[in-house]
Chain A
Amino acid sequence: MDRLEEGLRKTFRCGKTKEVGWRKAQLRGVLKFVEENESKIFEALKQDLGKHPVEAYRDEIGVVKKSAENCLNNIEKWMNPKKGKLPLLLFPSKGEVLPEPLGTVLIFGSWNFPISLALDPLIGALSAGNTVVVKPSELAPACSSLLYSTIPLYLDAEAIKIVEGGSDVAEQLLERRWDKIFFTGSPRVGRIIMSAAAKHLTPVTLELGGKCPVILDSFSGSDFKVAVNRIAGGKWGPCAGQACIGIDYVLVQQKSASILVELLKNCIKRYYGDNVKNLQSICRIVNKQHFERVCNLLEDPGVAASIVYGGSFDRENLMIEPTILLDPPLDAQIMTEEIFGPLLPIITLDKIEESIDFINEKPKPLAIYAFTKNDKLKKQILQETSSGSVTFNDAIIQFICDALPFGGVGQSGFGRYHGKFSFDTFSHEKAVLHRSFFLELEPRYPPWNDFKLEFIRLAYSFNYIGLLLHLLGLRTPNRSR
Chain B
Amino acid sequence: MAIIDAESVVKELRSTYTSGKTKSYEWRISQLKAIMKILTYHEKDILEALRSDLNKPEHEAFVHEIAGVSSSCKLALKELHRWMKPEKAKTTIVTFPSSAEIVSEPLGVVLVISPWNYPIYLGLDPIIGAIAAGNTVVLKPSEMAPATSSVLSKLISEYMDTSAVKVVEGAVPETTSLLEQRWDKILYTGNGKVGRIVLAAAAKHLTPVLLELGGKSPVVVDSNININVAARRIISGKWGCNSGQTCVSPDYLITTKEFAPKLLSALTSEIEKFYGKDPMQSNDLSSIINAHHFDRLTKLLDDDKVSGKVVFGGRRDKTKLKIAPTIVLDVPGDSSVMNEEIFGPILPILTVNKIEDSIGIITAKEKPLAAYLFTNDKKLKEEFIRSVSAGGMAINETNLQLVELNLPFGGVGESGMGAYHGKFSFDAFSHKKGVLIRNFLGDVTARYPPYSSRKLQFLKAVLSYDILGIFRALLG
Among the stretches A20-28, A134-142, A402-410, the one at the interface with B is A402-410
Contacts of B412 in A (CB 8 A): 102, 428, 430
**Known interface pairs A84-B407, A429-B408, A445-B274. Does A280 touch B450 (Cβ–Cβ under 8 Å)?**
yes
Q: Are B436 and A398 in contact (CB under 8 A)?
A: yes
The answer to whether B43 and A433 have CB atoms under 8 Å apart is no
- B196 and A201 within 8 A (CB): yes
| Contact with B275, one of A208, A223, A440, A446 (Cβ below 8 angstroms) | A446
A46 CB, min distance to chain B CBs, angstroms? 13
Q: Mark A63-104, 1 if CB is under 8 A from B, else 0.
A: 101100100000000000000111100100101011010110
Q: How far is the CB of A183 from chain B (nearest CB, A)?
A: 11
Q: Scoring A residues 169 to 199 as 1 if CB is less than 8 Å from chain B, else 0, what string do you get? A: 0000000000100000001001100110111
Q: Which residue of B lies closest to A439 (CB)?
A: B229
**Contacts A95-B407, A435-B395; is A444 near B236 (CB within 8 Å)?**
yes
State the main secondary structure of chain B at its contact with A.
mixed
Residues in chain A near residue B250, CB distance under 8 A: none
Residue of A nearest to B374 (CB): A437
Closest approach, in angstroms, between the C-beta of A34 and any C-beta of chain B? 11
Chain B residues with CB under 8 Å of A87's CB are 404
Q: In the complex where A431-B401, A435-B396 touch, is A389 in contact with B435 (Cβ < 8 A)?
A: yes
Query: Which of A404, A430, A446, A481 contacts B44 (CB under 8 A)?
Result: A481
Select one of A271, A393, A416 contacting B439, CB under 8 A. A393
Q: Which of A232, A267, A402, A453 has the most CB of B within 10 A?
A: A402
Q: How many residues of B contact A (CB 8 A)?
A: 105
Roughly how many angstroms separate A434 CA and B385 CA in the complex, as a whole number?
A: 11
Q: Are B199 and A194 in contact (CB under 8 A)?
A: yes
**Complex contacts, A13 vs chain B, CB 8 Å:** 363
Q: Which residue of B lies closest to A96 (CB)?
A: B407
Query: Please, which residue of chain A has its CB at the minimum distance from the CB of B409?
Result: A431
Residue B389 at the A interface, CB < 8 A?
A: yes
Q: Are A428 and B232 in contact (CB under 8 A)?
A: no
Which of B124-132, B203-211, B302-310 contacts the other chain?
A: B203-211
Query: Are B89's CB and A194's CB within 8 A?
Result: no
Check if A386 is an interface residue, CB within 8 A of chain B. yes
Interchain CB contact under 8 A, A433 and B413: no
Residue of A nearest to B407 (CB): A431
The CA of A32 and the CA of B130, in the complex, are separated in Å by 46
Segment among B29-37, B97-105, B166-174 that sits at the interface with chain A: B97-105
CB distance from A105 to the nearest CB of B (A): 12
Question: Which of B3-11, B62-70, B156-164 lies at the binding interface?
Answer: B62-70
Among residues 44 to 77 in chain A, which have CB atoms less than 8 Å away from a CB atom of chain B? 52-55, 57-58, 62-63, 65-66, 69
Query: Are B435 and A382 in contact (CB-based, < 8 A)?
Result: yes
B57 / chain A contacts, CB cutoff of 8 Å: 446, 448
A256 within 8 A of B: no
A393–B437 CB distance below 8 A: yes
Q: Is B261 an interface residue (CB 8 A)?
A: no
Judge if B133 is at the interface, Cβ distance under 8 Å. Answer: no
Interface status of A392 (Cβ within 8 A of chain B): yes
When the two chains form the complex, which single residue of B95, B192, B199, B451 contacts A52, counting CB atoms closer than 8 Å?
B451
What secondary structure prevails in chain A residues at the interface with B?
mixed
* Contact assessment for B438 and A190 in the assembled complex, using a CB-CB cutoff below 8 Å: no
Interface residues on A, range: 35 or more
A86 to B455, CA, bound (A): 53
Question: Cβ of A397 and Cβ of B438 under 8 Å apart?
Answer: yes
- A194-B199, A194-B203, A404-B89 given; A66·B464 CB < 8 A: yes
Query: A residues within 8 A CB of B463?
Result: 57-58, 62-63, 65-66, 400
Interface window among B113-121, B289-297, B331-339, B441-449: B441-449
A272 smallest CB distance to B (angstroms): 6
Tell me if B265 counts as interface (CB < 8 A to partner A): no
Knowing A54-B451, A430-B390 are in contact, say whether A414-B206 is a contact too (CB < 8 A). Answer: yes
Q: Does B400 contact A (CB under 8 A)?
A: yes
Of B23, B102, B202, B404, most buried by chain A (CB within 10 Å of CB) is: B404
Interface flag for A473 (CB, 8 Å): no
Q: Which A residues lie within 8 Å of B459 (CB)?
A: 54, 57-58, 62
Which residues of A lie under 8 Å from residue B456 when comparing CB positions? Answer: 53-54, 57
B225 / chain A contacts, CB cutoff of 8 Å: 437
Instruction: Find out whether the CB atom of A271 lies under 8 angstroms from the CB atom of B63.
Output: no
Picked from A65, A404, A415, the residue with its CB within 8 Å of the CB of B436 is A404
Q: Which residues of A contact B53 (CB under 8 A)?
A: none
Min distance, Cβ B284 to any Cβ of chain A, angstroms: 4
Does A390 count as interface, using CB distance less than 8 angstroms? yes
| In the complex, chain A residues whose CB is within 8 Å of the CB of B240 | 445-446
A119 to nearest B CB, angstroms?
A: 14
Residues of A within 8 A of B408 (CB): 97, 429, 431
Say yes or no: A430 contacts B448, CB within 8 Å. Answer: no
Q: Would B432 and A437 count as touching, CB distance under 8 A?
A: no
A84-B413 in contact given A54-B451, A386-B105, A400-B95 (Cβ < 8 Å): no
10 smallest CB-CB distances across A and B, nearest first, come from A404-B434, A281-B449, A54-B451, A194-B203, A198-B199, A62-B463, A403-B89, A431-B392, A389-B434, A431-B407
Give 8 new A-B contacts, CB below 8 A, not counting A201-B192, A456-B63: A95-B401, A191-B204, A198-B196, A201-B413, A386-B105, A390-B434, A429-B408, A445-B232
Supply 19 A–B pairs (Cβ within 8 Å), ascending by A.
Answer: A52-B451, A194-B206, A198-B203, A201-B414, A270-B448, A390-B435, A391-B435, A393-B440, A397-B436, A404-B89, A404-B435, A405-B102, A414-B206, A430-B390, A430-B391, A433-B401, A437-B225, A445-B240, A447-B275
Interface residues of B (CB under 8 A from A): 20, 23, 40, 43-44, 57-60, 62-63, 67, 70-71, 89-92, 94-95, 98, 100, 102-103, 105, 107-108, 184, 192, 195-196, 199-200, 202-204, 206, 208, 211, 213, 225-226, 229-230, 232, 235-236, 240, 273-276, 282, 284, 363, 376, 385-386, 389-397, 400-401, 404, 406-409, 412-414, 416-419, 431-440, 443, 447-452, 455-456, 459-460, 463-465
Q: Interface residues, chain A, CB within 8 Å of chain B?
A: 13, 18, 52-55, 57-58, 62-63, 65-66, 69, 84-87, 90, 93, 95, 97-98, 100, 102-103, 179, 187, 190-191, 194-195, 197-199, 201, 203, 206, 208, 222-223, 226-227, 229-230, 232-233, 237, 267, 270-272, 280-282, 382-384, 386-394, 397-398, 400-406, 409-411, 413-416, 428-437, 440, 444-448, 452-453, 456-457, 460, 480-481
